[in-house]
Amino acid sequence: MLSNTHPYDALMEITARPKTVFVQGKGSWLWDDDGKRYLDFIQGWAVTSLGHAPPAVAQALAEQANRLITPSPAYYNDVALKLAKALVDQSCFDQVFFANSGAEANEGAIKLARKYGSLHKGGAFEIITFEGGFHGRTLATMSASGKKAFEPLFEPKVPGFPKARLNDIGSVEALISDKTVAVMLEPIQGEAGVWPATDAFLKELRALTQQYGLLLIVDEIQTGMGRTGKLFAYEHAEITPDIMTLGKGIGGGVPLAALLATEQASCFEHGDQGGTFNGNPLMCAAGLAVLGEIGKPSFLKSVTDAGLYLESELQRISARHGLGEVRGRGLLLALDLKLPIAMSIVAQAFEAGLLLNAPRPDSLRFMPALNVTRAEIDEMIGPLDAILTKAGVARRVA
Ligand SMILES: *Cc1c(COP(=O)(O)O)cnc(C)c1O
């Protein structure tokens, strides 16, 4: 037995975490057990899409918990039906399977594509994915990911995920064979450092997949549910994919994810897919509350406006400190620092009461609540500017 010197020790050490314990949140703000306040531009990795403890979600959860938590996925429940209908009505898809995490939704997408291959394409099973892509931490989704750090881990991987290069249609076409059933990508590669697929590339990809009779799968776990200023990021490119996965922001902070498919692609048969907690009314009630807020008139426009403001402020401080480009769309943005100082900036920001994320050693990522205010963006830019000034001084001295 471990000699537990501190309650932290009872949790498996899976990442380096600051020794801070959070106990409360409201909107863009978090508080630790010492009462210190933090401005949160991570929001649980784009998960608490309406900020911390949003009244709409809190109320929906409380009401649903008092009515029905789950009757089992072997029965229909009114809330899952409502949420599925709302998602279908507002997307190009016809059917939904609910899951509990992004990785689980992506596993479902992979299984659905393989099923489609076995039914319609002579057993084709390969899914072309992309270098730098991230699709989750189960064995199959790690195999589908193009993350360098995953390569040596948990061998042997699940086969059947050849990797193309983002925004390089030739690299996709070169991998197509009679074993190929689908192409799967994030409209913006989030974990890799906010690298957008261009609208032109997504259009070419749709045309190419149609030409070869392949399914196009968009992983919108990070980009979906309003994050880029449209309900789903594929809308920017005016394409209609065959399969989409949602996660992160869809539950406003609770574990909810979804796999959506067009009628043609939706080919599971009894026994192919399932899960104990899937589509439980408690989580679906949170999803309905989130969709209700995002669906209010002008909500998406306010995301676009806030995104443009954040982008222009980041561009301003980039110019001021001689940094690199600002990438992304809506409220999923990255600032290229051009030097491997992102971890140190993140640590200093944390001390200053500001939560920022460094997806790469040279970039900062910004994924605030979708209802973040201009004043909160200003309150983030101020300290970041000061930290960058200090870092600049250190660089000149060094
Ligand atoms: C976070 C993420 C996942 C994995 O979601 P989990 O809920 O952590 O399993 C998959 N794909 C993308 C694009 C993500 O951002």
Any atom of ligand 1 within 6 Å of the Cβ of 348: no
The tokens describing 329, both together, are 């769309």
pLDDT at 394: 63
Q: How far is the CA of 83 from the centre of ligand 1 (A)?
A: 20
Number of helices (H) and strands (E) in the chain: give both, helices first. Answer: 11, 17
The tokens describing 134, both together, are 């991230």
Any atom of ligand 1 within 6 Å of the Cβ of 132: no
Comparing C-alpha atoms, which of 330, 372, 298, 378 is closest to residue 26?
372
Residues in the chain predicted with pLDDT less than 50, given as ranges, are none
Kindly report whether the peptide bond that precedes residue 156 is cis, defined as omega within 30 degrees of 0: yes
| Average model confidence (pLDDT) across the chain | 96
For the chain, the straight-line distance linking the first and the last C-alpha, in angstroms and rounded, comes to: 46
Question: Which residues, 6+ apart, have CB-to-CB distance to 265 below 8 Å?
Answer: 112, 113, 116, 215, 242, 243
Q: Go through the chain and tell me how many residues it has.
A: 398
Q: How far is the CA of 191 from the centre of ligand 1 (A)?
A: 9
Task: List Cβ<8 Å contacts ≥24 apart for 138-141.
Answer: 138/103, 138/104, 138/106, 138/107, 140/106, 140/107, 140/110, 141/103, 141/106, 141/107, 141/110
Query: Which string of DSSP letters, residue by residue, matches 112-181?
Result: HHHHHHHHHSTT--EEEEETT----SSHHHHHH---GGGTTSSSSPPS---EE-TT-HHHHHTT--TTEE
What is the CA angle 285-141-282, rounded to 5? 10
Any atom of ligand 1 within 6 Å of the Cβ of 107: no
- Structural domains of the chain, ranges and CATH numbers in brackets: 7-40+297-360+373-390 (3.90.1150.10), 55-294 (3.40.640.10)
Contact 144, 106 (CB under 8 A): yes
Kindly report the protein residue whose alpha carbon is nearest to atom 15 of ligand 1: 222
What's the 3-state SS for 176-243? CCCCEEEEEECCEECCCCCEECCHHHHHHHHHHHHHCCCEEEEECCCCCCCCCCCCCHHHHHCCCCCE
* Residue 273: other Cβ atoms inside 10 A: 16
Q: How far is the CA of 245 from the centre of ligand 1 (A)?
A: 9
Contact 363, 195 (CB under 8 A): no
* Residue 111: other Cβ atoms inside 10 A: 15
